[in-house]
Structure 1
Amino acid sequence: MSDRALITGIGVVAPNGLGVKEYWNATLEGRGGIAPLTRFDASRYPSRLAGQILDFDPAEHLPNRLLPQTDVSTRLALVAAEQALADGGVDPAELVDFDLGVITSNASGGFAFTHREFANLWSKGPEYVSVYESFAWFYAVNTGQVSIRHKLRGPGAALVAEQAGGLDALGHARRSLRLGTPLVVTGGVDSALDPWGWASHLSSGLISDSDDPDRAYLPFDARARGHVPGEGGAFLVMEDEQGAVRRGAGQVYGELAGYAATFDPHPDSGRPPALRRAAELAIADAGLEPSDIGVVFADAAGSADLDRTEAEAIAAVFGPRGVPVAAPKALTGRLLAGGGPLDVVAALFALRDGLLPAVPYEGETPDAYGIDLVRGTPRPTSARAALVLARGRWGFNSAVVVKAADRG
């Protein structure tokens, strides 16, 4: 019996493209989605750029009954999940509902929704608070709403590990497949671009204060000054191999072959960060050696200390400049739980098309980092496996290995 976890459908909601084709074309062309924040007047804030999803009208994608009860992040999740199911040719009505699971990640919950309702509570009174506040704020709401809308009654879960959580959701989905669930809709999205959400981003002290959209977020660059927050992410349809064959899946993008998660020790412990260990465990879990990995999709924090730590981990696993490093989130900003799954999408398409996406800016990677960052234009590759890394604040590390689809 095979325990391969195949990816057969993809949905993307990203600042530089709605839909997987739009996102991938923009990424290869170096078209970004970072721009001045327009959700509110951010002129008095020290940072004013964000990766926003513009020209998105939820009424064009969702039933009217869902609009009053959903936050921005849930609307994006519903659209990404529907895209993934349609892309995979999955009609839940034709399958057994208890064989279909939903496992998602979300780091901030329904920020804009709940802060609006808090404002109503404080300024008008409790009778003006929406009844939907009881669940619209919750981290698990995306799992619930996707499950309800598509009648997916199999295993459900929601994982919270900031930027690392999206990869954790994919790893947990693979575990569910191995425990007997034939198909899981999985991934992550986030959106926290309202005034309170923006304040929470700024509180990290890691946000770029540049007003130049093309120079604000420069991961692994000597001029790095922090990252740009963004919104969106990606959802995947993941199936066990027998289930995909039985269903007659028309396409396979690739395989989630390895997964691992670690947690950093306390900074005063004297022990090293655990990202390297996560990478090594994920590669081993995939049954591969570091030499089998043709590209690393980096966490790419965009801050000197964090970039240096990640670069040291990559160089320790692969040797100095031993593997190309891609950082497509430089085009979108960091999407919290949505960042890892979106990087997995980029990795799958890079393996499929034989092209590694480049960071769009010219610059200088410090020699001490010892990494081979893909810059300027996409780089041809014959890679058949990719490592995707993600780190969340407070010590979360996650890593997945994806393999290219078998060539027919």
Structure 2
Amino acid sequence: MTAAAPEEAGLIGVRGMEAAVTGIGVVAPGGVGTERWWAAVLRGENAIGPVTRFDASGYPASLAGEVTGFVDEDHVASLLLPQTDRVTRLSLAAAAEALDHAGLDPARLPDYAVGVVTANGTGGFEFGQRELQALWSKGSRHVGAYQSFAWFYAANSGQISIRHGLRGPSGVIVSEQAGGLDAVAQARRQLRKGIRAVVTGGVDSALCPWGWTAQLADGGLSTGDDPDRAYLPFDAEASGHVPGEGGALLVLEDGDAARGRGATVHGTIAGCAATFDPAPGTGAPRLRAAAELALADAGIAPGEVDVVFADAAGERNADRAEAEALAALFGAYGVPVTAPKSMTGRLSAGGSALDLAAALLALRDQVIPPTTGTARAADDCPVDLVTGGPRPAVLRTALVLARGRGGFNAATVVRAAR
């Protein structure tokens, strides 16, 4: 059998190519759709509130960032509804918007030209809970066949691939909050191997009793009942984070190929890096190392970074550690820092992907979105935290940081389109 020539297989890139973002799709607390969500962010609208997807009154924590106004039937074919979890439906909606935004029709490209690499930290928790309840209360005959895959972390990538006919290299990354950045890094590697385009990013949803219990077990949830004060990144009164659902998916393409077809490039993924923390008590966290490696990968110095989208754990020790890492890299108060996730909660793998979308839009509009809730950073967190409202700025380069449970660190450098 004769191998196809690279151009016949849809392989056009080379190592060192530009990883261009041509499409953005967002399904998040605050807005379904990129521009609706972004407008809410710039208005500083807090999308955190009491949980409505189940009765959380008997739990220590009762606030979440929920995606409201999302009608499943508007985004997912009726045939798919019985075999998909909410997280997959959110992912399908984000992917459809991203591909439409990119103006990319995979059917017009060669087979195997477009892949899918998504991140997911929880899997289909709500679907799994429902099937387990059926098993416990009714017996094994009442567990549906779709349980075999609907709960799985890779279900999002698989269903996106099937819906859009994306037969190129695909996969899933599981590294919790860092996952969205790690997935984009993997997608960029696929572009460097010659793949034409990749749908990538992260979406998560685990707002059900089973998922809630799992998140409570980690010990990091805020138990506050005031939506405006429960999640306070870098604040002296920070006492944990509020969880949420949703995220963002991007279309990454070879920059020359994207411009060649007349696509709009919204920014480029210039640098990526990941590190892993040592076992607790055996060494320092390695978030700073991830940032340094990402800057080196992008070929830029710290002084060229115009804004940092922080991980913003909302927990005193973790916030202090991130602030110290930023001060060591940029100097105390050396670069504007923001955490728009203060309006949505932490979305697991969807959170860092949503921050990437925010960074791209900030570079487009030349404005830094605010951190809400926190009025000023604590004295032991020497960061120039953007609060009170959007801050106009000249922006060319953004650094996005993320940390996942278990020691994952990731950093991505985003550059404005040239």
What's the TM-score once normalised by structure 1's chain length?
0.98
Three-state SS of the structure 1 residue aligned to 2:56 is coil
How far residue 212 of structure 1 moved from its aligned partner, in angstroms, is 0.7
Work out the CA distance in 1 between the residues paired with 2:250 and 2:74.
22
| Cα shift at 1:359 | 1.4
Deviation string 1:55-111 (CA, Å, 9 cap, x unpaired) is: 211101111001000001000000000000001111111111310000000000000
1:188-212 deviation digits (Å, cap 9, x = unpaired): 1000000010001111111111111
Match of 1:14 in 2: 28
Matches within 5 A, 1:315-330: 315-330=327-342
In 1, the alpha carbon distance for the partners of 2:32 and 2:63 equals: 20
- 2:147 is matched with 133
Cα deviation for residue 248 of structure 1 reads: 2.6
1:172 corresponds to 2:183:
no
Contact 2:255-2:265 at 8 Å conserved across structures? no
Aligned residue identity for 2:416: A
Structure-1 separation of matches of 2:161 and 2:185: 19
Match of 1:242 among 251, 256, 267: 256
Letter in 2 for 1:396: F
1:196 aligns with 2:214: no
Q: Contact between 2:28 and 2:247, CA under 8 Å: does it hold in 1?
A: yes
Match of 2:227 in 1: 213
**Is 1:401 equivalent to 2:413 in the alignment?**
yes
| Secondary structure of the corresponding residue to residue 329 of structure 2 | helix
Residue pair 2:342, 2:373 contacting (<8 A) in 1 also: no
Map of 1:268 onto structure 2: 281
- Give the distance between the partners of 1:307 and 1:241, measured in 2 at CA: 36
For residues 288 and 243 of structure 1, what CA distance do their matches in structure 2 show?
25
- Structure 2 portions without partners, runs of 5+: 1-13
Amino acid at match of 1:337: A
3-state DSSP of counterpart to 1:93: helix
* 2:398 alignment partner in structure 1: 386
Amino acid at match of 2:332: P
The aligned counterpart of 2:265 is 252
Show the 5 A alignment for 1:252-401: 252-269=265-282, 271-361=283-373, 363-401=375-413
Partner-residue secondary structure (3-state), 2:80: helix
Alpha-carbon displacement from aligned partner over 1:122-158 (angstroms, at most 9, x marks no partner): 1111111111101001011111000011000000010
SS of residue in 2 equivalent to 1:43: coil
SS of 1:76's equivalent? Answer: helix
Cα deviation code 1:339-366 (max 9, x no counterpart): 0110011111111111101112352312
Does the 8 A contact of 1:183 with 1:243 survive in 2?
no
Match 2:162 to one of 148, 152, 158: 148
Q: Which residue of 2 aligns with 1:59?
A: 73
Deviations 1:196-229 (A, max 9, x none): 1000111111111111111111000011111000
Superposition deviation, residue 39 in structure 1: 1.1
Aligned pair partner of 2:236 in 196, 206, 222: 222
The CA deviation at 1:245 is 2.8
Across the aligned residues of Structure 1 and Structure 2, the Cα RMSD in angstroms comes to 0.9
Q: Is the 8 A contact 1:17 1:23 kept in 2?
A: yes
How many residue pairs get aligned? The number is 404
Residues 84-163 of structure 1 aligned to structure 2 (within 5 Å):
84-163=98-177
SS for the counterpart of 1:238 is strand
Partner Cα distance (2:83, 2:346) in 1: 26
Q: How far is the alpha carbon of 1:242 from its aligned partner?
A: 2.6
Q: What corresponds to 2:44 in structure 1? A: 30
Q: 327-336 vs 344-353, which deviates more? A: 344-353
| 8 Å contact kept, 2:233–2:374 | no
Runs of at least 4 residues off by over 3 Å: none
Partner in structure 2 of residue 70 of structure 1: 84
* 8 Å Cα contact 2:231/2:373 also seen in 1: no
Q: Distance in 1 between matches of 2:280 and 2:196?
A: 41
- The answer (yes or no) to whether the contact 2:31–2:68 under 8 Å persists in 1 is no
Q: Which runs of 5+ in 1 are unaligned?
A: none
AA partner of residue 16 (structure 1): G
Secondary structure of the structure 2 residue equivalent to 1:261: strand
Secondary structure of 2:36's aligned partner? helix
Deviation of 1:368 (Å)? 2.0
Query: 3-state SS of the aligned residue for 1:257?
Result: strand
Task: Find the aligned partners of 1:310 and 1:58 in 2 and give their Cα distance.
Answer: 38
**TM-score (normalised: structure 2):** 0.95
Distance 1:142 1:335 in 2: 16
CA contact (8 A) 1:222 1:363 kept: no
